[in-house]
Amino acid sequence: MTAIKHALQRDIFTPNDERLLSIVNVCKAGKKKKNCFLCATVTMERPVQVKVVKVKKSDKGDFYKRQITWELRDLGEVDAKDPSKENPEFDLHFEKVYRWVASSVAEKNTFISCIWKLNQRYLRKKVEFVNVSPQLLEESAPRGEAQSVAGGDEDALDDYQELNTREEQDIEGMMEVCEYAISNAEGFAEKLSRELQVLDGANIQSIMASEKQVNILMQLLDQALSEVDNIEDKLSSYEEMLQSVKEQMDQISQSNRLIQISNTNNVKLLDEIQFLVNYMDLSKGHIRALQEGDLSSPKGIEACINASEALLQCMNVALRPGHDQLLAVKQQQHLFSDLRDTFARRLTNHLNNVFVHQGHDQSSTLSQHTVDLSLPKHSPLHRDLLRYAKLMEWLKNTQREKYEGLSMTYVEYMTRLYEREIKDFFEVAKIKMAGTSKEAKGKFATLPRKESALKQESESLHGSSGKLTGSTSSLNKLAVQGSNSRRSQSSSLLDMGNMSASDLDVADRTKFDKIFEQVLSELEPLCLAEQDFISKFFKLQQHATVQPPLAQPEPEETDGAIPSRVTPQSEPRHSISSEKDLVRMMMNKIFQSIETELNSLIALGDKIDSFHSLYMLVKMSHHVWTAENVDPASYLSTTLGNVLVTVKRNFDKCISGQIKQMEEVKISKKSKVGILPFVTGFEEFAELAETIFRNAERRGDLDKAYVKLIRAVFMNVEKVANESQKTPRDVVMMENFHHIFSTLSRLKISCLEAERREAKHKYTEHLQSYVINSLGQPLEKLNHFFEGVEARVAQGVREEEVSYQLAFNKQELRKVIKEYPGKEVKKGLDNLYKKVDKHLCEEESLLQVVWHSMQDEFIRQYKHFEDLIGRCYPGSGITMEFTIQDMLEYFSSIAQSH
């Protein structure tokens, strides 16, 4: 084993600067016996690394090779299997368990003992040894081969020190003096030993010779010791003195620390007291104002506002930990609660009385507004109540139930007041609209103010009053916008002098337009002022900057209110949507009669004259547009938008009624048709609509109605023309489409440009057809003759050979031409003129147009006959009995004679 160890050290470990400390011959347990060696090694360089190496002998030669290397620090456990019996098996636990069988128990014990010592020296007992005999681990290093290898060599490795340069030079010098130092080492050693003994003797002699100096040195040392003792005594006395000073200083320091703590506590206590006094103390003046303050005078209201804000600040102060346990704090909080309840009760009772008295005072002034078509102004009431706005905000933050009760009380009284005012206002409007004549009164009497049918129709249309939202809009801006735009609107609307009337004259329609405009102009500021007051008085929304009409934000942003400040101890802040819902509910309740009354007024106007729906559509659209520009989510905008749906329905009904009248028109079988009544009706409608809708926002609705009406006019003109018995179909079509074309050309309606071109085409087409059919063949036999000539040419007969045909020779042609002298032609044309005059109506003045077209057609036929004579009878000298100049004179004389 020693030879193997030496070979492994030389071949494997020395080249890697490693020292082999222990070796054991092993094989794997339970498998075919393939021997290998486990080696425990350490590196020569520091820091020392301890390894376990598996070495295997090569199969091809007598040399060894390293197979696996483990670091000793990766070894977790060494299992010797049985501590009491000699067993060559053992396990090493690295990343997995390796089971080995040693060639002898002694080698196993030596290897395990070496591993244990290396673990103790380098790994600080990291490896765990299991089933290992305690005697094996407790053995000391001097015994056995293992100690000599694992201990001695390692200690020698640790104690060995290399010679420095000077020592190497001294040894070389000594060896050069002694010639046999290399050949006779023992003699050289003996010589060195003798020289060392001589030197030791010399040292002893030198020591003995210096005894006197030693004695002197000892005396000096004794004196030094005595001086040291003196210094120590002085230091001890100083230490005692310093100790007493230290105790005094400790007492002073302790006293100062206690004083500092006391001062700190006093400062903190003063701060807490000042905090409570500053934030939890309510002045006597504030208490008196809350308990007895005058809520009817401006000074008293101002004092109550200041007192209520101070009270709210005291109640909502953020107490520090432990304050709520103080008796004084509890008493103050109880006092604040009593003051809050007392003042809330006083404020609620006072405002209830104000609502009642203001409502009665306002209702007593209603009679003076009945004559004039105007609504009472509530600005004095709003101005008086707005003085309490801050108190309402305080009540909202502290007593939510009383705040909501006041809101409902205000809504209840104002609902009654506004209902009476609006009812009387609309009664006056209806009387003025219906007029003072008996007939108008009869019309008005037949239409109750609140018709159940109208109410059901309105409810089916809108459900309820729709989604109503309030806003704090600027009334001044609305007035400027509305007045500027309505001024131009009304000026164009009332300029109706050149328009023909249908059932009522222009004055009646103008009167209706003024009344309807006045109604909307009165309702608009009333609703906006009330909504603005509700938002300010009940602190539901803060004023937002009104955006320009063309750059509005979304309704949620424009109408989004910033809720009033709510402190931590008050009720939770309501969201913006809930406050908008509250404004919507209040406005809907207060003005619940507006939408019904407007619908009733609209129904009355529509019953008086269906064309009133045009005025109402323009006016209502304009007011909706104006209201939406100010606040698209306001109650006014929503309500007018709902009513606009009804107006639009009436407008559509008016259009449908006109179309139905066109379909039901009946013509007389005994008289000529002329211009149909629905054609003139469309002209009247178009002229009226163009005047009303000039620069209107709802032009698109009118354009759609135009298209429906004109298509119905076209269709029914053709229907009547087909049914006409007295007047030829072409005349009915020609006259009516000429009238339509003239109307559209004069009014220049852009959306009906295609229909204008179509009307012109139909007029031209039927004019030509009527001319051809009426003119027919004034030279009938001559026509038949030349038709036969054209038939022969079409059959392949050459034109110059037609004269040789028996039926179409020159004699036959002369015979036919002689039958139509100029006198006969003029007589036939005169009869034709009378026939055309009988067919045409006087309104359109188309007689000369038709007569001129017939002249052109007759000349065309005449030229055609002359052309055939020239081609088929060349050189015959045959001509007509009359010339073109004769025909022109005939037509001119006949037209002048009639």
3-state secondary structure 742-811: HHHHHHCCHHHHHHHHHHHHHHHHHHHHHHHHHHCCCCHHHHHHHHHHHHHHHCCCCHHHHHHCHHHCHH
β-strands 77-79, 128-130: how paired? parallel
**Is the Cβ–Cβ distance between 629 and 481 less than 8 Å?**
yes
Q: Is the pLDDT of residue 367 over 70?
A: no
Q: What angle do CA 520, 523, 526 make, to 5 degrees?
A: 150
Q: How much is the pLDDT for 176?
A: 74
Q: How confident is the model at residue 565 (pLDDT cuts 50, 70, 90)?
A: very low
Mean pLDDT in residue range 796-822: 82
pLDDT in tens, 148-198: 344 444 444 444 456 677 877 777 777 777 766 667 777 778 888 888 888
Rounded CA separation 115/73 (Å) = 11
Query: How confident is the model over 115-143, as pLDDT tens digits?
Result: 998 888 888 767 888 888 888 777 633 44
Rounded (10°) CA dihedral 158, 164, 170, 176: 80
Spatial separation of the C-alpha atoms in residues 725 and 673, rounded to whole Å: 9
Q: Which residue has the higher pLDDT, 637 or 562?
A: 637
Residue 700's pLDDT band (cuts 50, 70, 90): confident
Task: Find which of 319-328, 738-747, 879-888 is predicted with most confidence, using mean pLDDT.
Answer: 738-747
Question: Residue 23: what pLDDT?
Answer: 92
The phi-psi region of residue 564 (left if phi > 0; otherwise alpha if psi is between -120 and 50; otherwise beta) is beta
Examine the pLDDT at 271 and tell me if it is beyond 80.
yes
Candidate from 464-478, 607-621, 684-698 with smallest mean pLDDT: 464-478
What pLDDT is attached to residue 601? 86
Do residues 755 and 743 touch, judged by C-beta distance below 8 A? no
Whether residue 145 is predicted with pLDDT greater than 80 in this model: the reply is: no
Name the pTM for this structure.
0.51
CA pair distance 701, 710, nearest whole angstrom: 14
pLDDT in tens, 383-413: 888 888 888 888 888 888 988 898 898 988 8
Cβ within 8 Å of residue 518, ≥6 positions away? 373, 374, 429
Mean pLDDT over each residue of the chain, to the nearest integer? 77
pLDDT of amino acid 469: 32
The pLDDT score that the predictor gives to residue 61 is 67
Q: Would you state the pLDDT for residue 878?
A: 81
Residue 437: what pLDDT? 33
The secondary structure element, H or E, covering residue 206 is helix 185-209
Tokens of 774: 């009426």
Mean of pLDDT values over 63-86? 87
Give the model's confidence band at 311: pLDDT under 50 very low, under 70 low, under 90 confident, else very high.
confident
Summarize pLDDT for 464-477 with one digit per residue, the tens.
Answer: 333 323 333 333 33
Q: Check pLDDT > 80 for residue 748.
A: yes
Residue 575 C-alpha from the chain's centroid: 18
Residue pair 763/742 in contact (Cβ under 8 Å)? The answer is no
- Over residues 440-454, the mean pLDDT reads 37
**Tokens read off for 187:** 């003699």
What whole-number percentage of the chain has pLDDT above 90?
Answer: 6
pLDDT at 259: 92
